[in-house]
Chains A and B, each alone.
Chain A
């Protein structure tokens, strides 16, 4: 066990936080139990909004799980010592978030007890089926990579293992984006820009999560992060945030150019109620403008600013996913283009969605799993980043 963590992680505060994490997980499981008994009627999801808050949480966690591995890749594949020292923690965070995200996705199923059917009746044309392989493979690849990093005798293999993880996470995030881009009939989806957009977004969100966890660990252990390392990492996060914003802008601008998509864009960006509010206020202002200001303003950019910026980027991420996933379904399907449509099944009408406490608890339970796995991982194994001498 790490010398850094030995005393602090035995403190009552550590166990209190861990207990809170476990309680959140238990609350999530209680929600699952209720959903199992009463059905999805107790959630806010319905036949118009078929994917809701659990999917927002799950997809955030899966995207961030892939993106946080960027730290490992920069260390192992591109040989940057400052990042190499942080690769094990990035690996742990990836496994933790992937566990949380996948648990939420699985437990939200109508029949979660049948998950084995996905293995016994595999449909090779389904992106979901591909992702089952990609996600389970990701666990194995990251576990292997961590082994090569943490076991002295395996260290010569850390570069090829790092390369495997590097390639795998690109394919995995592509797979997550493709879930949406293969939906040909929905106006919000069905575009090839989504997989690369998800990849770039994952860099920003993964980096933000890493910053929050790293800062917490350093503060917990009364350590100070090397100023040079801090500066490099926060600047890189800023670049990723801008790159992600570029992709989001390209997605909307392309849509605005197509006459058939302008109504949808007007809904998302202008008159869709909660969706424009979350897009402009949540994603653009809180998730981009403010964090970039905190990162790049000459008088700011210190430790606390970086934590605040990271938390805001995470918040903005949730806002963006809410707009994409829920807003994308709330806008009516164009079944009869050129016609005004109405029916008892919500045709031609904006769908309403009010998330219930239970589905929020399920999503939060996924975050709880990620927290508990991280907290226990740091407690039992040596995941605390230590600077390699002359790290530049």
Chain B
């Protein structure tokens, strides 16, 4: 009887030990995976200030840099994606002309996020508005809702994608503010590429940041401010 109990005890000990050995690496990996994503901080509000006086007509460096960084190609067809574009504007009454880049304005109250039926359109805690390509069902309601026409729909199958920037046929996409670069401590590709330093990127919530100080000292404009969306992208000299 005692022998039998001892055997049973040993068997249980060995089994538990084996189970622990089998599970431990998995648990460790789980911990590692969890630890990797620290998550965006709501203390930060990423934004951009675009100085229209420095933005030159005909210059397309920001657009080219974005296209290269994020792997989208525009061949000037109405079905091609454009995450960022240059707009030429002329004041009808005064005739004053300006050239400026237009992209997702990363609104504080984004209409695209409100209307998305599946929560695929979302705003990160640090103010970056993104599309979860795994959740997007391709209804395009966000494209209808965006006041800045900042979103594109992927009309064709995709090849040779950039692993840092997942995209998908049949889903909607837009400027991510180069979130993969920001999370690595870099600037968005457009800001870095601008030869005239017309795009100032930074944390609007940090009073010491260059962007916050500039926004405090010069007159800046939010496009369609009347809609009260509080975009994170502002324009100077508009």
Residues of chain A with a CB closer than 8 A to B139's CB: 109-110, 128
* Shortest distance between the CB of A38 and any CB in chain B (Å): 7
Q: How many A-B residue pairs have CB under 8 A?
A: 168
Q: Check A185 against B170 for contact (C-beta < 8 Å).
A: no
Q: 1/0 per position for A169-188, CB-CB distance to B under 8 A? A: 00000000001001111100
The 10 closest A-B pairs by CB, nearest first: A110-B138, A110-B170, A185-B147, A46-B78, A128-B117, A129-B117, A339-B89, A50-B140, A41-B155, A340-B90
CB within 8 A of A345: which of B85, B141, B223, B227? Answer: B85
* B102 near A115: Cβ-Cβ < 8 Å: no
- Does B154 interact with chain A (Cβ within 8 Å)? yes
Q: Which residues of B are in contact with A by a Cβ distance under 8 Å?
A: 74, 76-82, 85-93, 102, 111, 113-120, 135-141, 143-149, 151-157, 168-172, 223-224, 227
Q: Shortest CB–CB separation between residue A321 and chain B, in angstroms? A: 15
12 A-B contact pairs sorted by A residue (CB < 8 Å) = A38-B156, A39-B156, A39-B170, A110-B172, A118-B117, A121-B135, A122-B117, A128-B116, A129-B118, A335-B87, A336-B89, A344-B86
Tell me the complex Cα distance, A184–B120, Å: 20
Q: Let me know if A390 is at the binding interface, CB within 8 A.
A: no
Task: Say whether A155 faces chain B, with CB atoms less than 8 Å apart.
Answer: no
Q: Which of A23-31, A73-81, A346-354 contacts B (4 or more CB under 8 A)?
A: A346-354
Whether A114 is near chain B, meaning CB under 8 Å from some CB there, is: yes
Contact B92 A340 (CB under 8 A): yes
Which residues on A sit within 8 Å (CB–CB) of B88?
Answer: 341-343
A40 CB to closest chain B CB (Å) equals 5
Chain B residue numbers with a CB within 8 Å of A122 are 117-119
State in angstroms the CA–CA spacing of A125 and B168 once bound together: 25
Give how many A residues have a beta carbon under 8 Å from the other chain's beta carbons: 48
Partner of B147, one of A118, A333, A343, A351: A333
Tell me, rounded to whole Å, the shortest Cβ–Cβ distance linking B129 to chain A: 14
16 additional A-B pairs beyond A47-B79, A179-B141, A345-B149, beta carbons within 8 Å, are A41-B156, A47-B78, A47-B152, A48-B78, A50-B144, A111-B136, A111-B171, A118-B137, A121-B118, A125-B114, A128-B139, A336-B223, A339-B91, A343-B85, A345-B85, A352-B78
When chains A and B are docked, how far (Å) is the Cα of A123 from the Cα of B114? 8
Residues of A participating in the B interface, judged by any CB pair closer than 8 Å? 38-41, 46-48, 50-51, 109-112, 114-115, 117-118, 121-123, 125-129, 132, 179, 182-186, 329, 333, 335-336, 338-347, 351-352
Residues in B neighbouring A109, C-beta threshold 8 A? 137-139, 170
- Minimum CB–CB distance from A114 to chain B (whole Å) comes to 5
- Residues in A with CB closer than 8 Å to B82 are 47, 344-345
Check if A184 sits within 8 Å of B138, measured CB to CB: no
Q: Which of B141, B146, B156 gathers most chain A CB within 10 Å? A: B141
- Residues from chain A with a CB closer than 8 A to the CB of B172 are 110
In the complex, are the beta carbons of A333 and B149 less than 8 A apart?
yes
Assembled-state Cα–Cα distance A340/B196 (Å): 25
In contact, A39 and B154 (Cβ under 8 angstroms) = yes
Given contact pairs A183-B145, A335-B147, A110 touches B156 in the complex (Cβ within 8 A): no
A339 to B77, CA, bound (A): 25
Contact A335-B149, Cβ < 8 Å, known A40-B79, A344-B82: yes
A301 vs chain B, min Cβ distance (A): 41
B157 and A39: CB pair below 8 A? Answer: yes
- Given A47-B82, A111-B136, A345-B85, also A335-B148 (CB < 8 A): yes
Q: How far is the CA of A347 from the CA of B148 in the complex (A)?
A: 10
